[in-house]
Structure 1
Amino acid sequence: MKAAYINQTGPAENIIVGQLPDPTPTGSQVLVRMRAASVNPIDTYVRSGLAAPPNMPLPFIIGSDLAGVIAAVGPQAKKLKAGDRVWGANQGILGRQGTFSELAAIDESWLYAMPEHVSDEQAAALALVGITSHVGLVEHAHLQPGETVLVNGGSGGVGSTVIQMARAIGATVIATTSGPEKMEYCRTLGANHVLDYRHDDVPKRVAELTGGVDVWWETSWMPNFDAIFASMKHRGRVILIAGRTSRVEFPVGAFYTKCLSLHGFAMFLTPVEVQRQAAEQIGKWLDAGKLHAKIDRVASLDDAAELHRLQEASDSGAIRGKLVVKI
């Protein structure tokens, strides 16, 4: 089979596109014929060695998200059958092989039924960001209809999904981003209010608009906790999903006197059943047209190294949406 893989961690130039043996599903694995996969920041961290597991198999196939069709099932697989369309994430990490390949043997517990009218590209683009957003909003923040969410970085891959998901739950959404184009994009996603963090005094504007937020979703590697805590209602919840190497000041007094809570999580370490519950709801929203991924480009396996370089340059504005591979 054709695959994009590495023989050692390092720069994007280490990615090789070539032939590897076809995998054989064992136990509760199924063999997936890939149709689409997408690039996420975690993929570049694993490839570079920043988040590579000690038991990484080599050669190692890159990629975590997927959409495809079941080609065969292992002897203990009971939920899926050949011909089923599926989507999922959680590959390419914790010792599991990735998804940038024509075929992959994946445990069926990580795969979910594809809504009939959803494209492979959309499902692959929404897999990691969708599950991350649902786990944060539902499992950690316990977001309720009528509450207010601020999404700091609303035009990014996760942020744009959080906006749509929070609106689907019935929350009021404030998004922050930079520049007129990104601000308009956040509005098209359903954000009730959009602020430009480069020019707006965010805590002041939040107070004027809503009197404070119940949930603050932080996508920045360097969160400004003074601004965050000043924007929160009492018993508000702050969600952190980035900042692997970040070290920032923490205003303890402002945190505990408002009875706030701080929730950090890595989607890949979320229990499989919690992720399945998230995926089932995501499937319903996808089917109803309430979720949509902005795709910057659709490329081929041959472009894998270039896509990793683009992902690593995303902070410079190199991409506007998800990078997807059609297989």
Structure 2
Amino acid sequence: MNTLPLTMQAAVLEQVGAPLRLTELALPVPGPGQVLVRVAAAGLNPLDTKIRAGSAGHARHPLPAVLGIDLAGTVVALGPEVDGFRIGDAVYGMTGGVGGVQGSLTEYAAVDAALLAPKPKDLSMREAAALPLGFITAYEGLVDRAHVHAGQRVLVHGGAGGVGHLAVQLARANGAQVFATGSARQKAMIEGYGATAIDYGATPVADYVQAHTGGEGFDVIYDTVGGATLDASFEAVRPYHGHVVSALGWGTHALAPLSFRAATYSGVFTLRPLLTGYGRVHHGEILREATRLADLGQLRTHLDPHRFALAEAEQAYQLIENAAATGKVVVDVSG
């Protein structure tokens, strides 16, 4: 570990719901299969705020804890048994912040190398840090579950959201014709990503199914909203061959509309590899596909314009909690 410090700064959560506190911690040592990453940027998600509030039972994090699920940075040291990465590589990934795995709101992180991929060459560290959770969630639904392909009509619910705008681009990259729901003010953004915008507040389900599919229903529907929107998806899917996927299928829903269409439903739980250790290699594979698409100019992300240093991470959380963010919130950790 040439010229590395013995300690680092981290934004630490000491009690549920308490403000994050800048704290000095010992520099982690990468274990077998891990690399030490100097974190340049930490991407925050609404889920991060739920973990901080203790309201995400599926994503608990023992305290005191370093939060932050996504990161981008530079490899500065290699643990034993690491192949495929070298010191100096620019990388990104969904690497911690849940289940006792150190998160990204820190100057350095010892990261399972299987979770990482090379950073897209034309994306900044900030832009790369905004991708992992959202893109992996989109990919697991559209590609792993629904096997989206050319010629299909895909509907993305919440097409301007953190997962939704990436799902729109991924479906288009796979050759699908894409439609996306959103508010009237989100129309330009949704269309900017290549989807046909549907104003969910002004257009009943039956009307947009008729208008865009001739009444047949959509081949693939990706719900990123949950609740009544998932129920609406069961009404809008194509019979027999249709597939509804949801990243928020945690409520109580009537399956009769889906069953009467003889259609398929799949759930997505992106955190499972971090919590269980199973499937981590696939997360790295998914991000390599994100890198490929970004390098081809087929994938970009929507950043909130606010800038926060590591010492201002608490303000970044408050921006999300107050529903004042207009894109993915990213904390600048180091230069």
Return the TM-score normalized by structure 1.
0.91
Which residue, 225, 232, 238 being the options, matches 1:220? Answer: 225
Deviates more, 1:193-202 or 1:158-167: 193-202
Shift of 1:209: 1.6
Shift of 1:58: 3.9
- Name the counterpart of 2:105: 100
Shift of 1:279: 1.4
Aligned counterparts of 2:147 and 2:261: Cα–Cα separation in 1: 18
Which residue, 109, 115, 130 being the options, matches 1:125? Answer: 130
- Name the counterpart of 1:241: 247
1:106-140 CA deviation, whole Å, 9 max, x = no partner? 11111111132221111100111011111111001
Alignment pair present for 1:256 and 2:259: yes
Shift of 1:55: 8.2
1:187-222 CA deviation, whole Å, 9 max, x = no partner? 00100x211111111331222222320111112231
Would you say the 8 A contact 1:203–1:228 is kept in 2?
Answer: no
Aligned counterparts of 1:197 and 1:53: Cα–Cα separation in 2: 29
Counterpart AA for 2:109: A
Alignment pair present for 1:303 and 2:308: no
1:132-167 CA deviation, whole Å, 9 max, x = no partner? 111111001111111011111111111111111111
Counterpart AA for 2:189: Y
**Percent identity at matched positions?**
35
1:17-63 CA deviation, whole Å, 9 max, x = no partner? 22222111122211100111111122122222223679845431010
Would you say the 8 A contact 1:240–1:263 is kept in 2?
Answer: yes
Residues 31-42 of structure 1: pairs in structure 2 closer than 5 A: 31-42=36-47
Instruction: Find the residue that maps to 1:5 and give its secondary structure.
Output: strand
Query: How many residues align structurally?
Result: 317
Aligned counterparts of 2:145 and 2:236: Cα–Cα separation in 1: 19
Which residue, 155, 162, 174 being the options, matches 1:150? Answer: 155
**For residues 27 and 55 of structure 1, do their structure 2 counterparts lie closer, same or farther at Cα, with a shift above 3 Å needed?**
farther
Counterpart AA for 1:290: Q
Which residue, 175, 196, 199 being the options, matches 2:199? Answer: 196
Aligned counterparts of 1:229 and 1:115: Cα–Cα separation in 2: 36
Which residue, 274, 278, 284 being the options, matches 2:292? Answer: 284
Would you say the 8 A contact 2:51–2:61 is kept in 1?
Answer: no
Alignment pair present for 1:69 and 2:74: yes
Shift of 1:265: 1.6
- Name the counterpart of 1:208: 211
Deviates more, 1:115-124 or 1:220-229: 220-229
- Name the counterpart of 1:326: 332
Unmatched 5+ stretches in structure 1 = none
Would you say the 8 A contact 1:135–1:274 is kept in 2?
Answer: no
- Name the counterpart of 1:187: 191
Shift of 1:326: 1.1
